[in-house]
Amino acid sequence: MARQLIDQFAAQLPEDRRASVYGGSKVGHEKRTKVLFDHFPDADRLRELAGEIKQHVVENLDTYLPKIEASLIAAGVKVHWAATAEAANKAVLDIMRARGATRMVKSKTMVSEETHLADYLQQNGIDCLETDLGEFIVQIDGDHPSHIVKPIIHKNRREIAQSFERHGLGAYDDDPQTITRRARRFLRKKYLEADVALTGGNFLVAESGRLVLVTNEGNSRFCLAATKTHIAMVGIEKILPRDRDLALLLNLLARSATAQQLTVYTEFIKGPRSSTQPDGPEEMHVILVDNGRTDVLESDCREILRCIRCGACLNVCPIYRQASGHAYRSVYPGPVGAVLSPLLAGKKFPELADLPKASSLCGACNEVCPVNIPIPDLLLRLRNKGKEEGAKIASAGTPPMGGWAVLATQPMLWKTAMMGGKILDVLPEKFVPVPAFRAWTDQRTLPGWRGGVFRKWMRTRETKPRQPTVGP
Residues that bind ligand SF4 (CB under 6 A): 148, 256, 307-313, 336, 368-371, 373
CB closer to ligand SF4 out of 235 and 280: 235
Which strand ranges, in their side-by-side order, compose the sheet holding 229-235?
78-82, 283-289, 229-235, 196-199, 103-106, 127-130
Compute the least distance from the CB of residue 307 to ligand SF4, in Å. 3
CB closer to ligand SF4 out of 29 and 154: 29
CB closer to ligand SF4 out of 74 and 362: 362
Compute the least distance from the CB of residue 338 to ligand SF4, in Å. 10
Compute the least distance from the CB of residue 112 to ligand SF4, in Å. 17
CB closer to ligand SF4 out of 20 and 256: 256
CA-CA distances (angstroms) from residue 272 to 125, 149, 326, 405? 26, 27, 37, 63
Compute the least distance from the CB of residue 18 to ligand SF4, in Å. 21
- Burial of 279 from C-beta contacts in 10 A (0-12 / 13-18 / 19+): exposed
CB closer to ligand SF4 out of 230 and 309: 309
CB closer to ligand SF4 out of 148 and 204: 148
Cβ–Cβ under 8 Å, residues 221 and 270: no
Compute the least distance from the CB of residue 167 to ligand SF4, in Å. 31
CB closer to ligand SF4 out of 129 and 379: 379
Query: What is the Cα–Cα distance from 429 to 442, expressed in whole angstroms?
Result: 9
The sign of the dihedral angle between the CA atoms of 451, 454, 458, 459 is: positive
Q: What are phi and psi of 306, to 5 degrees?
A: -75, -15
Query: What is the Cα–Cα distance from 416 to 412, expressed in whole angstroms?
Result: 6
Three-class secondary structure of residue 115 per DSSP: coil
Compute the least distance from the CB of residue 88 to ligand SF4, in Å. 21
The sign of the dihedral angle between the CA atoms of 372, 54, 382, 84 is: negative
Compute the least distance from the CB of residue 23 to ligand SF4, in Å. 20
